[in-house]
Amino acid sequence: MHTDTELGVPVFGKIVSFVSPVVNECWHIVVESSETKLFVSHFHAYEVTMTQPTTFSLIKFHEVADYQPLYCHSVLTADNARHSFVKLPYHVF
């Protein structure tokens, strides 16, 4: 997770792999990109959607804003629409 400086919202992604070039031993994370749609206070979670077409980012491990593991939960509504939420285990003020 990192923060979009333009919109001020957290940016989430799904970790695909960890890589480290032999040259400098700096670890990177390959992340499948997602888009943060909105914060849903009822769930205390952010609604996210995976980008289409699928895009990937390479992030330096030390640039990650939060090392706390987060989980994506899916909800199926009455009209069979699937919504995905990332619930934070703490309150952000």
Residue 92 counted as domain residue: no
| pLDDT at 29 (0 to 100) | 92
Give 22-63 pLDDT, tens digit per residue. 777 788 999 999 999 999 888 889 999 988 899 999 988 888
Boundaries of domain holding 15: 2-87
Total count of domains within the chain: 1
Residue 27 counted as domain residue: yes
Task: Measure the CA–CA gap between 66 and 39, rounded to whole angstroms.
Answer: 18
Number of C-beta neighbours around residue 16 at 10 A: 13
Q: Which residue, among 30, 9, 13, has the nearest Cα to 21 in the 3D structure?
A: 30
Task: Measure the CA–CA gap between 22 and 67, rounded to whole angstroms.
Answer: 24
Q: Does residue 3 surpass a pLDDT of 70?
A: no
